[in-house]
Amino acid sequence: MDDESTPESGRSGYHHGDLRASLLSTAMEMLEAGESFSLRAVAREAGVSPTAPYRHFADREALESALAVQGFDDLRRRLSADGARAASVEELVGFAVTYVAFALERPALFSLMFGRECDDSDDERVRAAGELHALLADSLGDVFPDRDPGPLATALWSLTHGLAFLHLDGKLSAASADEVATRVRTSFAALGFN
């Protein structure tokens, strides 16, 4: 048995594969199940030695940052699997609907992604957040070529992000995905985006 393996069989059942991927998968499962985790707890669940995670993550913050990167990448792919920008107001509103749905489907990850500032020294997290921002800013520039995309992006993100957290916090009903999607669409329509 190598020094990464332990006799215990964790949730992910790591077996001489990609240790980093196994640790991230295990940590994501724990995060989304609402379990608190440390590097030791993730190692135990993954079935590896307590020191194995330190080969890839300096500390819990580094692991959380890697999870946030996955979240940003997942959200960007949900918005546009092929990287295509929104080409109409309707598609932009569709991005907002998808954004709020993602928040409601993966609330712990969403909170982790947006719960604290990006560390500018974390290249991967900055890259992932930047790619998401670029998709949205470029889409706004295409749909509204005569408007300054910066303030417009801030305004529309504020609306969308606010709707996500109002639903997450129980201030707005999230009884069904259709109800939430309708609320997002009507909120945009109220501001003339329809």
Rounded distance between C-alpha atoms, residue 22 and residue 17, angstroms = 8
User: Is residue 160 exposed (0-12), middle (13-18) or buried (19+ Cβ within 10 Å)?
Assistant: buried
Residue pair 191/185 in contact by the 8 Å Cβ criterion: no
Find the Cα–Cα–Cα–Cα dihedral 75, 112, 45, 73, rounded to 10°. Answer: 20
Per domain, the residue ranges of the chain are 1-57, 61-190
- Residue 151's CB: how many other CB atoms inside 10 A? 9
Per-residue pLDDT of the chain (194 residues; tens, 9 = 90+): 344 444 444 444 545 568 999 999 999 999 999 998 899 999 999 999 999 999 999 999 999 999 999 999 999 999 998 889 999 999 999 999 999 999 999 999 999 998 866 666 667 888 888 898 899 999 999 999 999 988 999 999 999 999 999 999 999 999 999 999 999 999 999 999 97
Q: What is the model's pTM?
A: 0.86
Overall size of the chain counted in residues = 194
On whether the 61-190 domain is CATH 1.10.357.10, my answer is yes
Rounded distance between C-alpha atoms, residue 5 and residue 43, angstroms = 9
The pLDDT score that the predictor gives to residue 52 is 92
Rounded distance between C-alpha atoms, residue 66 and residue 57, angstroms = 9
CA distances from 84 to 26, 77, 112, 136, 141 (A): 31, 10, 26, 10, 13
